[in-house]
Amino acid sequence: MSGADSISGTERALRILLVDDHAMVRSGFRMMLSVEDDLEVVGEAADGMSAVIAARQYRPDVILMDVQMPGMDGIEATRRIVDEDLGRVVILTTFDRDDYLFDALEAGASGFLLKNAEPENLVDALRAVGHGHGLLAPEVTRRVIERMTNGGAAVSHTEPPELATLTEREREVLILLAKGLSNAEIAKALFLGEATIKTHVSNCLAKIGVRDRVHAVIYAYEQGLVDRSR
């Protein structure tokens, strides 16, 4: 089904807010996204404070956020936007640095991409995050896992109480999700329907108290549910 077909029915276009201190960059993103029927750019901002104000005004589904900007940077803007539940944030930066990555994730960003990503990857990322799925660029996923597992060292801790609320099947789904499997791949592995897996994933997120798949992956590694050495 095309984007036009999709939004002509019950679904509306995802509302996107562009945040970058370079007008030419914002213009390029706007032009690129203008051909997508299911994505609508509703506003722009040139710094972090303006991004927070614009998010309050437009209530976008997804904010495409630069990191380095004058005044309030993208990390602090992300923190405020997430705290106020004004939309989901995808961090987009030319700077392939661990501190930006982990600061952005800790601030509550739902996705992280580098500006050298292919245009179709950016569009897919906006769609994924807009529909409630987190996203990490493949080149940064390994660093997230290594950081969250202390470079592979075993972490001794008491299992948190929320894990006990998961059913056996939900725990199984969480582990497969953390290994990077899509809903379709999890469904195939467990011989279940995709709709059933989607329900299990939603239940997992609610029970462990995370907002999206990215933070569920981090949670699973933090709790030692996945053996990275395998």
Q: Along the 230 residues of the chain, how does pLDDT read in single tens digits?
A: 344 434 444 478 999 999 999 999 999 999 999 999 999 999 999 999 999 999 999 999 999 999 999 999 999 999 999 999 999 999 987 766 767 777 888 888 888 887 788 888 889 889 988 987 777 665 566 566 666 555 544 454 677 899 999 999 999 999 988 877 778 889 999 999 989 998 999 999 999 998 778 778 878 877 888 765 54
User: Could you tell me if 15 and 91 lie in one domain?
Assistant: yes
Domain range for 159 is: 151-222
Question: Which two structure tokens, joined as six digits, stand for 57?
Answer: 């005004």
Q: Is 227 inside any structural domain? A: no
Nearest C-alpha neighbor of 69 from the set 95, 87, 88, 43: 95
Looking at the structure of the chain, the number of domains it has is 2
Question: Which two structure tokens, joined as six digits, stand for 43?
Answer: 């506003």
112 within 8 A of 74, measured Cβ to Cβ: no
* pLDDT score at 39: 96
User: Could you tell me if 111 and 178 lie in one domain?
Assistant: no
Q: Is 11 inside any structural domain? A: yes
pTM of the model as a whole: 0.72
* pLDDT score at 214: 77
* pLDDT score at 212: 79
**Which residue reads 């936007």 in tokens?**
81
Q: Is 101 inside any structural domain? A: yes
Q: What is the CATH number of the domain that holds 213?
A: 1.10.10.10
User: Could you tell me if 64 and 167 lie in one domain?
Assistant: no
Cα 42 to its chain centre, rounded Å, is 20
User: Could you tell me if 30 and 128 lie in one domain?
Assistant: yes
Buried b / exposed e over 19-43, threshold 16 CB at 10 Å, is: bbbeeeebeebeeebeebebbbbbb
